[in-house]
Amino acid sequence: MGTMVTSTEKIAQTKIGLGEGKRPAGPNGGGNGHGKHGDESSSRFTPLKYKIGMWVALAAVTMTFTALTSAYIVRANSSNDWRPIEMPRILWLSTALIVASSITFEIARYALKRGKSSLYNRWLMLTVMLGLAFLASQLMAWRQLVAQGIYVASNPHSSFFYVLTGAHGLHLLGGVLGLDYLLLRSWRKGYEEHAEERRQARVNSVALYWHFMDGLWIYLFLLLFLWR
Amino acid sequence: MSDANVAHEAHEVVHRHEPPKSFIRKYIFSLDHKVIGVQYLMLALAAVLVGMTLSILMRFSLTWPDMNWPIIGMIKPDQYLALLTIHGTIMVFFVLTTAPQGGFGNYFLPIQIGAEDMAFPTLNMLSFWVTLVGFIVLLMSFFVTEGAPIGGWTAYPPLSAIASAGPGQGTGMNLWIISIAIFCVGSLLGALNFITTLLNMRAKGMSLMRMPLTCWAWFTTAVLALLAFPVLLAGGVLLFLDRNLGTSFFVPAGLYIKDVIQPHAGGSPILWQHLFWFFGHPEVYIAILPGMGLTSHVLSTFARKPVFGYRAMVFAIFAIGLLGFFVWGHHMFISGMSPYSAMAFSILTLSIGVPSAVKTFNWIGTLWGGKIRFKVPMLFALGFVSLFVAGGITGLVLGQTSLDLPMHDTYFVLGHFHLVMGVAAIFGMFTGVYFWFPKIFGRFMSERLGRIHFWITFVGVYCIFIPMHIMGIVGMPRRYSRFAENGQQIYYFLESLHPLVIFVTFAAIITFLAQFIFFFNLFWSMFKGKKCTENNPWEATTLEWDTTSPPPHDNFAGVHPVVYRGAYEYSVPGAPNDFVMQTDPDEFGEHEGSGDGHNGHKH
Amino acid sequence: MGRALAVIIWLLTLASVVLFLSGWWFPTTITEHGPRVDQQFLITIIVVGIAFVAAQIGLGWMVWRYGANSQNKDERALYTHGNNRLEVLWTVITAVIFISLAVMGQRVWAQLHFSDAPADAFQARVTAQQFSWNVQYPGKDNKFGRTDPTLIKEDENNFIGLDDRDPNAKDDITATTLVLPVNRPAELILRSKDVTHSFWVPQLRFKQDLVPGMEIHVHFTPTKVGQFQLACAELCGMNHFSMKGTLVVLPQDQLNDLMNLPPTQFQPKLEELRGKYELGMIYDEKGTKIGKSY
């Protein structure tokens, strides 16, 4: 009673990517494609969750460093007190270490993919060592600057040097903790559903983070010492 | 509801997740998104009580500056500014950001998309506890030497960067920065969870364009938070270093404060403003978007009509979110930044009015031809629309460069943003509380008290904030702790406003008192309210009404819901009821499966 | 219930409109660009007012008209998902109106900000500090003396650190009152000693922050004579509310007399001239009273 349907026309009915085109009669009208847990009695685990989560987290990290480095660029041009510091030589070592760590991580991942667990553990250990060595090398760079009498407040460039390397170091420390967690997991295996899938997903997302930190360092390195 | 039962039989039954048994795991350090949501709501409730009290004290001080109050004594100018700073900070961060997103979003986003929980429950729990710590740190600033900071919630340096620039700018200001930094971390963890959950954990059949508009709003809000809070965090770190390690990011050379030349050189105060407002403008959308989503949701439910222009609504939410990142400069027209970029910011700012207007038109379109049921949540949703228009529309004045020149930092701005991002957003929260209370607590709130609360609040906020626009046009600057000293008006051009100031204060007191009706209703109804035994008391369509009230630990009692249609299928011709739930697999004549967000479908 | 709500919405709308219409709330402007700001404001507030009233009436009407019928519970609402033509229509219309407003709003802005002050502009340096205003006039030589924060000695009345070894500083006048000539472009050079302040005289129809570390130039032409209050509009600390100053706009000849005096006689003469003009009243260029400025 009293119901009517307004006749409306189709104007610009463009489909957006994830929407469902045809009017579905059944439940397959879209969804995210992961709702395939019909017959298996399981919690809803999907490896995609870790991947999306990590990318989203990296977006936040990117914004943090975008803010800091745009402040760096603005500050460099806003005043005449900008005197770049001499680059501590040891930063080349840092760069080599972190690039090497990305490579060893990839080797570890490859080993895991082929099911060679002990090989994976060893390369992962090496990655942790390289990560820690990178942090030590960064600390050495700080000590070298301090020895020259260059502190956080000495000049704007040194302020940014300490802030950017410090923030990056903290994030990398987070990555080292992630690696430790992976190691711990592979030494003390507990029972869980989809153990292998979960393991892969964890390794992949830590790897993503680790390589991102590697790339971030190279960006910061270029910005601090090669961009003028 | 029989439909729900039919729907459930169609679902595959899988094993249930048992809730934790111990009290601490169940209610304190809970991983359950519903408990965390309620925790967030309680935090916001505590925060709003503090924030509101501070604002009433401010009105007292403005109206009767020389009065000696019992207990608190006379409110001194610096104390007023401390009230102002903490009021702003609490309201923006711990109320407007936590309740709509952390509270309702946490509770209902997973349920509305048919998930058992958030993607990362542990991070979710951490996010709440981190936020709580931030709140406690902020309140601590009242109890340190010299008290809370006086620099306003925008904390412009150098006032915020130099400890000797004023009382409260020492330890209090440090605590403020720490609190905000902690808050940023908490919000980022939350945003991470929201985005991942929404992208990855939707039930079978829940395509993006079948989602309730609330989910779209929470999702967009989470994206804004994810991209905006890191910038505030970065700015906060730099400000902290300027204050405590002697760096000069924001502090220029040669500052002469308290007879001392400050040992800084070359920093730029405007840089802080850019970083702050790059975060600050999206923040106002973080506050209002969930309210917009919920308003659409509730209007449709109680008008018994599909949302008018669902797809346009989704685009509008996105457009607002996107444009929100390109308009921060309109807070800085008079700051001394480039006048050319000011022009670009101004045009972008006014274009953000377009999606906002589209939303308003669609809300009114949703009501058109409806069969409106005037329950309390509906009253607040309608109030939201009215207030959003009243507050938002003056943005057309403030967004223009040349009109911002006289209006900037006056009461006009206060009236504008309090109506649109303060009161409208709070009406969104009231809508949420009255609407979802039966689902959360399994009892109804009192309709009668709810109505009284609505009428007083709705009229009250108009009486408080509309006159502020007039004060602003006359030229009353904001953030003045008093306008008279020893009974003498300080500025002659503000003398005529005194009656208006008194009127606003009385309106504020009445509105303030009316909120205790709400608090009473809330807590009384939790224990003594009429029991809600049905799943779907409002005869709504979305998934949260498909489960018990309150929902079990895993939301759907081990059942994975399957979704067959869009979120707002009301008054479908040929259907047995005037609402068709999303999980209802039945087909109804030619209209089956419609409402996938396509406007104007017809076969 | 629906009808009551509709009535309340309409009453609140009516009250808001009446409040806005019950007076021209702006203080009278005393600058050349002021009337154009006022005109733009008027246009905008009319557009805003119409949109506000239309939306509230529309909302009220829906609420009035479409309440559920308690007699006939089976009656259903209109089943529609919207109308794309309507969506496009109102999007385009609002976009055109809003963006035109934004573009129109740029005219005064451009006039104030896109060009430098004319060469014959009267110059004054305004230096703000917590919680007072300092003004430096270049004196007869039209050159500002050098200032240096390390030379500030507040107990010796050197509030801006004027360097008295600089020959340009010899005839500079420092005062706490801003004096400008009528009908001649004025250029203010805005600086701050400590924190950010904002220069705000409601009758001038503009505001400008004074940012430490920056020197911000603004220019405008006062068109009325009189004494007006200068307030700070950017939160600057504890006594922000009392950071009051005075702007005095004088007829050309009176200003010339004043500026040609030796710095020591400036203040007494200024006090004498101020006696002629009542605070908040406006006078024409000859000094005849026209009316109230607020």
DSSP string of B190-225, one letter each residue: HHHHHHHHHHH-PPBT--GGGS-HHHHHHHHHHHHH
Q: pLDDT digit string (tens) for A174-207?
A: 999 999 999 998 877 666 677 788 888 899 999 9
In a domain, B414, yes or no: yes
Determine the pLDDT at residue B67: 87
In a domain, A159, yes or no: yes
Determine the pLDDT at residue A80: 81
Cα within 13 Å of Cα(A161), Cβ side: 28
How is residue B530 annotated by DSSP?
P
Determine the pLDDT at residue B372: 95
Q: pLDDT digit string (tens) for B87-140?
A: 999 999 999 999 999 999 999 999 999 999 999 999 999 999 999 999 999 999
Q: What is the arithmetic mean of pLDDT over B319-323?
A: 96
Q: C46: how many CB neighbours lie within 10 A of its CB?
A: 10
Pair (C108, C147) in one structural domain: no
Measured between CB atoms, which of C72, C75, C83 is closest to A6?
A: C83
For residues B4 and B535, is the Cβ–Cβ distance under 8 A? yes
Taking the C-alpha atoms of residue B40 and residue B30, their distance in angstroms, rounded to an integer, is 12
Q: pLDDT digit string (tens) for B492-535?
A: 999 999 999 999 999 999 999 999 999 999 999 999 999 999 99
User: Which class for A17: exposed (0-12), middle (13-18), buried (19 or more C-beta within 10 A)?
Assistant: exposed
CATH of the domain at B401: 1.20.210.10
pTM of the model: 0.92
Tell how strand C225-232 and strand C245-250 pair up.
Answer: antiparallel
Q: pLDDT digit string (tens) for B425-465?
A: 999 999 999 999 999 999 999 999 999 999 999 999 999 99
B: neighbours with 3+ CB pairs under 8 Å? A, C
Residue C125 bridge partners (DSSP): C136, C189
Helix (H) or strand (E) holding C228: strand C225-232
pLDDT at A18 over 50: no
Residue C147 bridge partners (DSSP): C162
Determine the pLDDT at residue C154: 87
Q: Which residues 20-79 of A are in CB contact (within 8 Å) with B?
A: 20, 23-32, 34-35, 37-39, 41-44, 46, 48-49, 52-53, 56-57, 59-68, 71, 74-75, 78-79
Measured between CB atoms, which of C37, C148, C233 is closest to B477?
A: C233
Q: What is the arithmetic mean of pLDDT over B314-332?
A: 95
In a domain, A114, yes or no: yes
pLDDT band at A10 (very low <50, low <70, confident <90, very high): very low
User: Which class for C50: exposed (0-12), middle (13-18), buried (19 or more C-beta within 10 A)?
Assistant: exposed
What average pLDDT does chain A have?
81
Chain centre distance of CA B474: 30
- Residue A98's domain comprises 42-226
Q: pLDDT digit string (tens) for B291-306?
A: 999 999 999 999 999 9
Pair (C14, C129) in one structural domain: no
CATH of the domain at A97: 1.20.120.80
Q: Which residues 107-146 of A are in CB contact (within 8 Å) with C?
A: none
Q: What is the arithmetic mean of pLDDT over A7-19?
A: 33
pLDDT at A39 over 60: no
Determine the pLDDT at residue A189: 67
For residues B586 and B139, is the Cβ–Cβ distance under 8 A? no
In a domain, B593, yes or no: no
In a domain, C34, yes or no: yes
In a domain, A62, yes or no: yes
Optimal mutation site among A7, A10, A11, interface C, most CBs of chain C within 10 A? A11
Taking the C-alpha atoms of residue B44 and residue B41, their distance in angstroms, rounded to an integer, is 5
pLDDT at A33 over 60: no
- The DSSP annotation for A44-66 comes to ---HHHHHHHHHHHHHHHHHHHH
pLDDT band at A223 (very low <50, low <70, confident <90, very high): very high
Optimal mutation site among C56, C235, C246, C281, interface B, most CBs of chain B within 10 A? C235
Pair (C287, C249) in one structural domain: yes
Taking the C-alpha atoms of residue A109 and residue A102, their distance in angstroms, rounded to an integer, is 11
Q: Residue A12's closest chain C neighbor by CA?
A: C84
Pair (C152, C260) in one structural domain: yes
Determine the pLDDT at residue B411: 97
In a domain, C79, yes or no: no
Determine the pLDDT at residue B589: 57
- The DSSP annotation for A65-93 comes to HHHHHHHHHHHHHH-S---PPPPPTHHHH
Nearest to B231, CA basis, from B194, B265, B196, B271:
B271
Taking the C-alpha atoms of residue A36 and residue B310, their distance in angstroms, rounded to an integer, is 28
pLDDT at B244 over 60: yes
Pair (C42, C137) in one structural domain: no
Measured between CB atoms, which of C75, C80, C85 is closest to A9?
A: C85
In a domain, B17, yes or no: no
Cβ contacts below 8 Å, chain A against chain C, sum to: 32
For residues B562 and B205, is the Cβ–Cβ distance under 8 A? yes
- Residue B194's domain comprises 29-546
In a domain, C249, yes or no: yes
How would you write the pLDDT of chain C (294 residues) with one tens digit per residue?
789 999 999 999 999 999 999 988 999 999 999 999 999 999 999 999 999 999 999 999 999 999 987 777 778 899 999 999 999 999 999 999 999 999 998 988 998 888 899 999 999 999 999 999 999 999 888 899 999 999 999 888 899 999 989 999 888 999 999 999 999 999 999 999 999 999 999 999 999 999 999 999 999 999 999 999 999 999 999 999 999 999 999 999 999 999 988 888 999 999 999 999 999 899 998 889 998 887
- In this structure, of A80-89, B75-84, B397-406, C242-251, the range with the lowest mean pLDDT score is A80-89
pLDDT band at A30 (very low <50, low <70, confident <90, very high): very low
% of chain B residues with pLDDT over 90? 85
Pair (C271, C200) in one structural domain: yes
CATH of the domain at C173: 2.60.40.420
Q: C218 φ, ψ to 5°?
A: -130, 150
User: In total, how many domains does chain A have?
Assistant: 1
B502 vs B27, more confident: B502
How close B596 comes to chain C (CA, Å)? Answer: 10
Pair (C108, C146) in one structural domain: no
User: In total, how many domains does chain B have?
Assistant: 1
Instruction: Give the angle subtended at the CA of B111 by the CAs of B110 and B116, to the nearest 5°.
Output: 65
Q: B582 φ, ψ to 5°?
A: -60, -30
Pair (C167, C213) in one structural domain: yes
Pair (C133, C233) in one structural domain: yes
pLDDT band at B6 (very low <50, low <70, confident <90, very high): very low
Nearest to B521, CA basis, from B460, B458, B461, B441:
B441
Q: pLDDT digit string (tens) for B159-217?
A: 999 999 999 999 999 999 999 999 999 999 999 999 999 999 999 999 999 999 999 99
CA separation, residue B603 to residues A8, A13, B600 (Å)? 11, 14, 10
In a domain, A148, yes or no: yes
pLDDT at B541 over 70: yes
Tell how strand C245-250 and strand C177-181 pair up.
Answer: parallel
- Residue C48's domain comprises 2-68+84-113
> Encoding tokens for residue B585?
């697999």
Pair (C206, C62) in one structural domain: no
pLDDT band at B219 (very low <50, low <70, confident <90, very high): very high
For residues B510 and C261, is the Cβ–Cβ distance under 8 A? no
In a domain, C128, yes or no: yes
Determine the pLDDT at residue C264: 87
At A140, the amino acid letter reads M
- The DSSP annotation for B464-520 comes to HHHHHHHHHHHTPBTT-S-SEETTEES-GGGGGGHHHHHHHHHHHHHHHHHHHHHHH
% of chain A residues with pLDDT over 70? 78
Q: pLDDT digit string (tens) for B393-404?
A: 999 999 999 999
3-state secondary structure at position B348: helix
Taking the C-alpha atoms of residue A10 and residue B585, their distance in angstroms, rounded to an integer, is 26
Pair (C165, C230) in one structural domain: yes
Pair (C129, C107) in one structural domain: no
Determine the pLDDT at residue B12: 45
User: In total, how many domains does chain C have?
Assistant: 2
In a domain, B182, yes or no: yes
Measured between CB atoms, which of B165, B406, B578 is closest to C194?
A: B165
For residues B579 and B540, is the Cβ–Cβ distance under 8 A? yes
For residues B165 and C196, is the Cβ–Cβ distance under 8 A? no
